[in-house]
Structure 1
Amino acid sequence: MIPAKFRWEWKLTDDKLAAEWAGRLGIPLLVARVLLSRGWSEEEAARFFRPADEEALEDPLLMKGMPEAAERIRRAIAAGERIRVYGDYDADGVTSTALMIRLFSVLGASFDTYIPHRSLEGYGLNLLAIDAAAEAGVSLIVTVDNGISAVEQIAYARKKGIDVVVTDHHEPPAVLPEAVALVNPKQPGCPYPFKGLCGAGVAFKLAHVLLGRPATEFADLAAVGTVADLMPLIGENRIIVRMGLDRMRREPSAGIRALAKASGTEPKDLTSGRIGFGLAPRLNAGGRLERADGAVRLLTTEDEKEAVMLAEQLDRLNSERQRLVDVTVEEAERMWQAKKAEHGGNGPEVIVLHAAGWNAGIAGLVASKLVERHYRPAVVLAHDPETGKCKGSARSIDGFDLYAALTDCAHCMEHYGGHQAAAGLTIEVDRIPELERLLHDIARERLTKEDRLPKKRADLLCELAQVTLESADGLAALEPFGNGHSTPRFLLQDVTVRESRTMGKEGKHLKVTVERDGCSLEAIGFGMGHLAEKLPAGRSLDLLGELSVNEWNGSRRVQFVVQDLASSETLWIDRRKSADPWSLLESWAARAEGRFVVLCASSHLAEEVSGRGVLRDAEVYAYTEPASASSLAAAAKETVMEDVHPAADSRLVLFGLPDNEADQRVLADWLSKEPGWGSIMLMASPSRQRENPVWLQRRHFAEGYALFREQKTWIDGPEGFLRKAADRLGLPLASIRLMQDVFEELGFIRASGAERTLVSEPPKRNLEESQRYRKMAGQAEAASFPDWPLERLKAWAAANKS
């Protein structure tokens, strides 16, 4: 058995309707099924295959506050007023700021920009920055990616004689600031049809109005901001990202070209995924560790050499960011393990950790890593000893509304904000224990058993016959993929392994060919090379993953990228003919990740196993112990603990199979109680010296009866006729005596004292009617059990589980 690492979920689709869609839209059936499973209407589905052009964009003047914002900015430009663009330090804020620089440069505005320092100033408008703007003669501040919550700060700016135009996309608070204009599609009363724009997306719409046409030349920045800020890639975002990708591939700016190369790709090969995992982390790195100004300059410079220099700087900062994250994660992990030990092994339901010296700019990344490792909500805080305050971030799991939980703990914190899956907070260090206790209680109350298992959602259950190159190419038409519109994921059930092997450096990856109903498919599992030995030909598998196209030497073929796999079958490994069972056993134990149980043929062998090096930590039992069945079943239950992953490898070694019915009943009773094993290895006991007894077969009884009929009458004793019969048949005297007793029991022989006489007209009866014969046959069968063929043993085990 190979348990899945995740809890799988998928949807059922109306295949008849999907077939109709496929015919009308001219798309592969699998693509139609995906669109149907995601809840799109046929009209919405059709939009995926239309060009992403200017006509598909929404009217920006529908956005509440847009006319007022545009009018105030035009008036400022015409009057030569000093404008300050006030941005944010993340990738969305950086691209928003860069977009405004490029826009205001085209419009001939008198302007400058300001992005606060993450650690020293924090997010959004602040009073000191407004004082600095007033001293610089700024009369208009235009915020990008912030400002919707800055009630106090905007009121302060107004007193200083500075107007503020807010462009933002974050959730509006109950009380809005009194700005000259508020541009945010999420604000109450805004009729704009699409609410999912990022900060750069809102700036892109403002540029449309100020230019009097769609600002397609800025689509690259809007696309990067949209992907980097994890906006849903649906509706207008999908159009913006497609337009931006097209521009970056065809006419990349100096900054995009340099940034792409720094992240290991070429502009022509950019995708939403490469933006999210390559460009965005580097743009974020400046704001996380230093200031974000370098990232803004990179996105606005036209000098190729400067762009390369700036991209290299961000790449180095990103490497340093990665190093800091790794170091902090390991420090946090040690703290968490200590906390678990302090709380009796499991620890609180929510991970809450803080330390002086940690960087608040990477707290969210560290929290995400902890969630990945332990699958429980995590709060990571950087402590400032001088102020006594801690700032940081929190990340959650499916089923636990983090923002709601923090709201219930609001009295503990100085500030918090966020949404269901992520949040930021500021708290006094001495209030952290209270916060941890409250979050623990909330999580224990609200999280179900199912919530505690990580899950992966598949779009649908897919037949192997539908996994074709045509389908993979059709799915590519649904790009770009990202948050809210993820790469389609499929579940392949009950496929059979044709062959499997490791691949890549040090065999870290898995390559397996599966088949079903005459169709075959090559599947790749990155980081799954350790599973190759568990996937022999013929094993049944379920696979969860994505389709991709492998291009090599001019040929193209579809392949399956495995994200998780499972098999309900236990893997049986027959090593009964091994010349060195001890080395084999120790090697197998050293590679075990979960439970490792050795069931031995004798107590003596069990003692020997327990005393051997790497085997000292194994669970070792013997058939001869009366409590084996119950103790092993109990041990199975005791190991289902909090941090034993449900997909952990569980291995069982049958070290010498039992050769008697009593021990076989112990094994059968135990197997019937066990939930299942990842693998079972059969090994012959090295110390077992068994003389194979001569078990009488039907032909022996026929030969013996012929001798009895020839003799007719004889005396039952150790010498005489019985001894001669044993010599003639080459059998032990006990075997001849057993034949005599069986025939006597069946009425073929009549006894009178020591005299035995063959009945001349015996009754018609079968050997199986004799109790002695049945007992002998059962003993013979039990004695042969250790030598049964593997398939027969597997069938016996299955029968005893049912």
Structure 2
Amino acid sequence: MIDSMKRWRTPETDGDAVKALAGSLGLSPIAAKVLAARGFTDPAEASAFINMDLGSWHDPFLMKDMDTAVELINSHIRRGSRIAVYGDYDCDGVTSTTVMMKALLSRGADAFYAIPNRFKHGYGPNTELFTELYEKGASLIVTVDNGISGIEQIAAAKALGMDVIITDHHEPGEELPQADAIIHPRHPEGNYPFGDLAGVGVALKVAHALTGDFPADSIDLGAIGTVADLVPLKGENRLIVKKGLEKLRHSADPAVKALCKAANVEQPAIDEETIGFGFGPRINALGRLGDAGPAVRMFLTEDPAEASMHASSLDERNRERQKMVAAIADEAIAWVEDTYGDRIPHVLTVAGEGWNPGVVGIVASKLTERFYRPSLVLSIDREKGIAKGSARSIEGFHLYQELAKNADLIPHFGGHPMAAGLTLPIDNVGALRDNLIRQGEETLTEEDLVPVLDIDVTLSLDEVDLASIESLRELAPFGVGFVKPVYGISELSVESSRKIGSMRNHLKLTVTDGRNQLDVVGFGLGHIEDELTPDAKVSIAGDLQINEWNGRKKPQLLLKDLKSSGWQLFDVRGERVLSRWLPSIPADALFVAFKKENAAKFRADTGKEILLCSQVEPARGSSLVILDLPDSMEELEGLLGSCSPARVYTHFHVPESRYFMGIPDRKQFGWYYTFLKQKGQFHVMREGERLAKHRGWSRDTIIFMTKVFFELGFVTMENGFAVAVGDPPKRDLSESGSYRGLERQIEIEQALLYSPYMELRRVIGAVLDAPDTAREEQQLWI
């Protein structure tokens, strides 16, 4: 048995809906299954989703205050007033700033921008920075991707005599700032049809309203900001990303080309993953480590050399960010493991002095991914006496609500169910840690602490081909709210398996259903290879891809998880060097020997507890290591029946194998008995070696036949001499206990020690594959 690393959840699929979607839309069965699993059962609705066009783009003036904002901006442009665009330091904020700047400049505005520094100004409106904008001559401030919570700061800007327009998408509070206009898709007094726009989506709406045209020239920026901000890819967001990706693939913009070079991406191959893993992290890196302004300059410039310079700077900062995250994550993980060992608490709170507060959110995500616990990572600032950080959660633990229960300890916090930011006095960290552990124990069950893998579609291997996988791109883009599908395929045989990579920490499989094959790659899953056996039937889950190498294309599954429900046989017969196989044995395995002397030997060699067969108590689902050979098959059957192990490791050590010696035939017995009668007396120990060489036998054969004759009364033994009895009784060789014992030992060695793997599996499976009732009856009989 191979346990899955996660809890697999597979929805029921409406077969009729799949057929209807495939037939009406000309989709592959796989693509139709994905849509049906995502709730698209009506072909017309599915078609509108797949083939989204500008008909899904709402009139920007449906947003409350849009008319007021446009009129105010135009009035400042007519007067020649300076307009300041006030952005944010993340990717959404950078792209929002750029979109707004391009729209204002296209209208002839005297516009400039400012982005707060995460460490100097913090997030959102800042009174000091607003004052600087006033001193630079700004008469109007237009915020992008922030402002909805800046009640005091907006009031201060108004007191200086500036007009303020807020464009934001973050959650509005009970009180709104007294700005001249608030453009927000979820404005409490508004009724806009789509409330999930990113900050850059709101900026695109303002750009449309200002220019009177769909903002096609900035839609690529909209795609970057929307994907990077992890908003749901539905409605207008999906349209923005779909149209934006098309523009990015063909754009002549110097910034796009420079980003592609920095991220080592072929421009025609840009997709949502390029943004999520290539462009977004590089843009975000600037704001995480310092000033995000150069990213805006990169997007605004028309000079390829300047764009390239800024893109290289982004790439360098991103490398710094990666090293910083890795170092802090290593410290945090080490602290958790050193502090808690195997007893990881339900909620983790880790704090470190000098950790960059701009990257602790990424570290919190890494802790949650590794330990599957809600995780808080705090940066300690001794000089200010505060701890500032970020948190990430898991299903079942509403982070914002649980933090709210500690409002007396956390003066400043905000967020939602799965992520949050917080600042608190250093002295309160310990109490918060204890409280959250207790709250986690009250809220989270043991099942909640096992990560979940949602499998969208179950397939058979004959459904997987290049055309079907290529057809899945029709469903793109994928992202939050419409994630990349996970596919499950069951009851496959492993045709080949090996570890790959310089560290041998990745897995490469070829699986088959007997007719079709599929390559499987599992990054970081090399350890699974140690758990696979030649007979294993596996179920796999992952992402279907097309692997292209040397001009050849093949389907491939990028493995997320694997499991096997049946018991497994691990063959370690003949492995005399213990260090070669002991490390692969699970820590909770039962080590069992049938003979006391072998138990003592292995106990001395390994330092492990070795049980005798008679000491084993029933323990279903355990791992069983059988160290030596039983005296009978009944002994083995009794052991297997009582344990019902999930894994069986067969070592079957025997100090001296008798299988290849075989049993002397009757001619050999006859010749030896005649020899003894003619000899009169024969000293077995002194003269047996010479006789054995003469006959081409082994010395053990001479000793064995002598022992059989003695047990049957054919010879007597006196002082080491074998003397033939004159008139021996008529008895069959099989009446000798030694003869029967050797027969039995050879049979057992043949069945267990020297049999092929599949034959040994059949022997053990005769017990383990039997129904429970039959097994119980067998144990009673034994």
| Same fold by TM-score greater than 0.5 | yes
Q: Which residue does 2:57 correspond to in 1?
A: 57
Determine the C-alpha separation between the residues in 2 that align with 1:571 and 1:668: 13
CA distance in 1, matches of 2:203, 2:65: 13
Structure 2 distance, partners of 1:130, 1:90, is: 19
- SS of corresponding position for 2:576: helix
State how far apart, in whole Å, the 2-side matches of 1:534 and 1:437 are: 38
User: In structure 2, what residue type is equivalent to 1:434?
Assistant: A
Of residues 629, 648, 671, the one that matches 2:617 is 629
Q: 1:725 matched to which residue of 2? A: 730
Query: In structure 2, how many angstroms separate the alpha carbons of the residues matched to 1:160 and 1:722?
Result: 131
Partners of 2:346 and 2:444 within 8 A in 1: no
Given candidates 441, 446, 462, the residue that maps to 2:443 is: 446
Give, in whole Å, the separation in 2 of the partners of 1:326 and 1:455.
25
Give the aligned partner of residue 459 of structure 1. 456
Q: Report the counterpart of residue 320 of structure 2 in structure 1.
A: 320
**Amino acid across the alignment from 1:158:** K
Once the two structures are aligned, what percentage of the paired residues are identical? 38
Matched, 1:415 2:420: no
Give the conservation status (yes or no) of the 8 Å contact 1:658–1:786: no
Match of 1:158 in 2: 158
DSSP 3-state at the match of 1:451: helix
What secondary structure is seen at the aligned counterpart in 1 of 2:592?
strand
CA displacement at 1:456 relative to structure 2 = 0.9
Question: Cα offset for 1:506?
Answer: 5.1
- RMSD (Å) for aligned C-alpha atoms: 3.1
- Which residue of structure 2 aligns with residue 275 of structure 1? 275
Residue pair 1:660, 1:783 contacting (<8 A) in 2 also: no
Aligned to 2:649: 681
- Structure 2: distance between partners of 1:544 and 1:795: 27
Deviations 1:200-237 (A, max 9, x none): 11101111111100011101111000011111112211
Q: Aligned partners of 2:556 and 2:170: how far apart in 1?
A: 40
> Is the contact between residue 540 and residue 567 of structure 1 (CA under 8 Å) also seen in structure 2?
yes
Residues 602 and 610 in structure 2, CA contact (< 8 A), matched pair in contact too? no
Question: Which amino acid is 1:600 matched to?
Answer: A
Shift of 1:662: 7.8
Structure 1 CA distance, aligned partners of 2:87 and 2:470? 40
| Residues 1:258 and 1:621: Cα distance change in structure 2 (over 3 Å) | same
1:588 to 569, 581, 594: 581
Work out the CA distance in 2 between the residues paired with 1:445 and 1:491: 33
Structure 2 match to 1:790: 760
Q: Is the 8 A contact 1:629 1:669 kept in 2?
A: no
Q: 1:721/1:68 Cα in 2 relative to 1: closer, same or farther (>3 Å)?
A: farther
Number of residue pairs the alignment of both structures matches: 712
- Please report how far the alpha carbon of residue 690 of structure 1 lies from its aligned counterpart in structure 2 after TM superposition: 6.6
SS at match of 1:488: coil
1:252 positional shift:
4.0
CA contact (8 A) 2:410 2:425 kept: yes
Distance in 1 (alpha carbons) for counterparts of 2:770 and 2:612: 16
Q: Is the 8 A contact 1:376 1:452 kept in 2?
A: yes
What does residue 629 of structure 2 align with? 657
Deviation (angstroms), 1:32: 1.4
1:12-64 alpha-carbon deviations (Å, 9 max, x no partner): 111122102211111112211211110124333102442x5434322211122
Could you tell me whether the CA contact under 8 Å between 1:623 and 1:667 is conserved in 2?
no
Q: Could you tell me which of 548, 553, 566 is aligned with 1:569?
A: 566
Q: Which among 480, 483, 493 is matched to residue 477 of structure 2?
A: 480
Distance 1:249 1:154, change over 3 A: same
> Is 1:68 matched with 2:73?
no
Cα separation, partners in 2 of 1:734 and 1:693, compared to 1, 3 Å: farther
Contact conserved, 1:233 with 1:485, CA < 8 A, in 2? yes
In 2 relative to 1, CA 315–591 (structure 1 residues): closer, same or farther, beyond 3 Å?
farther
Distance 1:69 1:370, change over 3 A: same
Q: Distance between the aligned counterparts of 1:349 and 1:508, measured in 2?
A: 29
- Cα distance, 1:733 vs structure 2: 5.4
What SS does the corresponding residue of 2:581 show, helix, strand or coil?
Answer: helix
Residue 44 in 1 paired to residue 33 in 2?
Answer: no
Q: Which moved more, 1:531-540 or 1:303-312?
A: 531-540
Give the direction of change, closer, same or farther, for the CA distance of 1:289–1:610 in structure 2 (3 Å limit). Answer: farther
C-alpha deviation, 1:121, in angstroms: 1.5
Match of 1:179 in 2: 179
Name the aligned partner's letter for residue 622 of structure 1.
L
Secondary structure class of the residue paired with 1:265 = coil
Q: How does 1:189-588 map to 2 (within 5 A)?
A: 189-340=189-340, 346-505=343-502, 507-516=504-513, 518-532=515-529, 534-576=531-573, 578=574, 581-583=575-577, 585-588=578-581
Deviation at 1:570, TM superposition (A): 3.2
Q: Where does the alignment leave 5 or more consecutive residues of structure 1 unmatched?
A: 638-650, 697-716, 739-774
Cα distance between partner residues in 2 of 1:539 and 1:161: 75
Whole-Å separation in 2 of the counterparts to 1:157 and 1:661: 89
Structure 1's 129 and 272: CA in aligned 2 closer, same or farther, altered over 3 A? same
Q: Which amino acid aligns with 1:725?
A: K
Q: In 2, are the aligned partners of 1:658 and 1:785 still within 8 Å (CA)?
A: no
Q: Which residue in the other structure is 1:103 paired with?
A: 103
How many angstroms does 1:349 deviate by?
Answer: 2.1
Match of 2:609 among 620, 630, 636: 620
SS of residue matched to 1:13: coil
1:167–1:203 Cα contact (<8 Å) kept: yes
For residues 749-768 of structure 1, give each alpha carbon's deviation from its aligned partner in whole angstroms, at most 9, with x where no partner exists: xxxxxxxxxxxxxxxxxxxx
3-state SS in 1 of match to 2:484: coil
- Aligned partner of 1:751 in structure 2 is none
Q: Deviations over 1:499-531 (max 9, x none)?
A: 334445454433322222633323222233443
CA-to-partner distance for each residue in 1:605-659, whole Å, 9 max, x for gaps? 33433444xx44xx431325x43326xx49x89xxxxxxxxxxxxx643221322
Task: Give 2:350's aligned amino acid.
Answer: L
Residues of 2 paired with 1:423 and 1:128: CA distance?
A: 25
Superposed displacement of residue 496, structure 1: 2.0
* Structure 2: gaps of 5 or more residues: 666-711, 715-724, 773-782
Contact 1:283–1:295 (8 Å) recurs in 2: yes
TM-score relative to the length of structure 1: 0.83
CA distance in 1, matches of 2:49, 2:515: 33
Determine helix, strand or coil for the equivalent of 2:78: helix
Whether contact under 8 Å (2:238, 2:477) holds in the other structure is yes
- CA distance in structure 1 between the partners assigned to 2:211 and 2:465 by the alignment: 46
Cα 1:450–1:310, aligned 2, differ >3 Å: closer, same or farther? same
- The Cα shift of 1:173 comes to 0.8
Distance 1:690 1:781, change over 3 A: closer
SS at the partner of 1:286?
A: helix
Q: 1:692-725: CA deviations, max 9, x gaps?
A: 99899xxxxxxxxxxxxxxxxxxxx968999443
d(CA) in 2 for partners of 1:776 and 1:471? 61
- Cα deviation for residue 537 of structure 1 reads 4.8
Question: Shift of the alpha carbon at 1:333?
Answer: 2.0
Q: Does the 8 Å CA contact 1:414/1:427 hold for their aligned counterparts?
A: yes
- Name the CA distance, whole Å, in 2 between partners of 1:780 and 1:501: 35
TM-score of the aligned structures, taking structure 2 as reference length: 0.85
Secondary structure of 2:47's aligned partner: helix
| Counterpart secondary structure, 1:179 | coil
What is the CA deviation profile of residues 743-782 of structure 1, one whole-angstrom value per residue up to 9, with x for unaligned ones?
xxxxxxxxxxxxxxxxxxxxxxxxxxxxxxxx99999988
Secondary structure in structure 2 of the residue aligned to 1:68 = helix
Alpha-carbon distance, 1:592 to partner: 5.0
